[in-house]
Amino acid sequence: MSNIQLIEVKEDILADNDAAAKELRDSLKKEKTFMVNLMASPGAGKTSLLLQTIQALRNDVNIAVIEADIDSVVDAEKIAETGIQSIQLRTGGFCHLDVSMVKKGLAALDTGALDLIFIENIGNLVCPAEFDTGATIDIMILSVPEGDDKPLKYPLMFSKCHALIVNKVDYLSLSDFKMELMEERVRRLNPDIKIFTVSCKTGEGIDLWANWLLEAVQSHIQ
Instruction: For residue range 90-135, list pLDDT tens digits in order.
Output: 877 677 889 999 999 999 998 889 999 999 999 999 989 999 999 9
- State pTM to two decimals: 0.92
CATH number of the CATH domain containing 67: 3.40.50.300
Residue 140, in any domain of the structure: yes
Residue 4, in any domain of the structure: no
Expressed as residue numbers, the domain containing 163 is 9-221
Residue 2, in any domain of the structure: no
* pLDDT > 90: percent of the chain: 78
SS3 string, the chain, reads CCCCCCCCHHHHHHHHHHHHHHHHHHHHHHCCCEEEEEEECCCCCHHHHHHHHHHHHCCCCCEEEEEEECCCCHHHHHHHCCCCEEEEEECCCCCCCCHHHHHHHHCCCCHHHCCEEEEECCCCCCHHHHCCCCCCEEEEEEEHHHCCCHHHHCHHHHHHCCEEEEECHHHHHHCCCCHHHHHHHHHHHCCCCEEEECCCCCCCCHHHHHHHHHHHHHHHHC
Number of domains forming the structure of the chain: 1
